Amino acid sequence: DAGVIQSPRHEVTEMGQEVTLRCKPISGHDYLFWYRQTMMRGLELLIYFNNNVPIDDSGMPEDRFSAKMPNASFSTLKIQPSEPRDSAVYFCASSLGGITEAFFGQGTRLTVV
């Protein structure tokens, strides 16, 4: 397996634009997590899914953020409209079981100017 695949690796966008981040989890994993990493706040859990169903989205900072998982092999995190304070590295991770070893993608570095 190629591991968790995220795209794009880097995204630069203007404030107000819509941004969509993509994630392909490891085949067979039943949990998918979206994290955001900044120097100030560290690694924050935004939302996680179990068997494609969102379980907890309390970490999503605002209504501008939304996430979907239409099937077991694909998830998106959308920010609309984007703001400069959304600049961060966004990680997707998957696991077999929610509290076992998590496998992380390489991340998407988002810069909103």
Asked if 48 touches another protein (CB under 8 A), the answer is: yes
Under 8 Å between Cβ of 64 and 80: yes
Q: Is 14 helix (H, G, I), strand (E, B) or coil?
A: coil
Q: According to CB under 8 A, which one of 33, 77, 79, 94 is a site residue for another protein?
A: 33
| Count of beta carbons in the 10 Å neighbourhood of residue 1 | 10
Q: How far is the CB of 105 from another protein (least distance, A)?
A: 5
Rule CB under 8 A: choose which of 36, 67, 107, 112 binds another protein: 107
End-to-end alpha carbon distance in the chain: 36
Check if the beta carbon of residue 59 is closer than 8 Å to that of residue 35.
Answer: no
Name the minimum Å distance from CB 21 to another protein.
14
Q: Which stretch binds another protein (CB under 8 A): 11-19, 20-28, 64-72, 101-109?
A: 101-109
Scan residues 54-83 and list those touching another protein (CB under 8 A).
Answer: 56
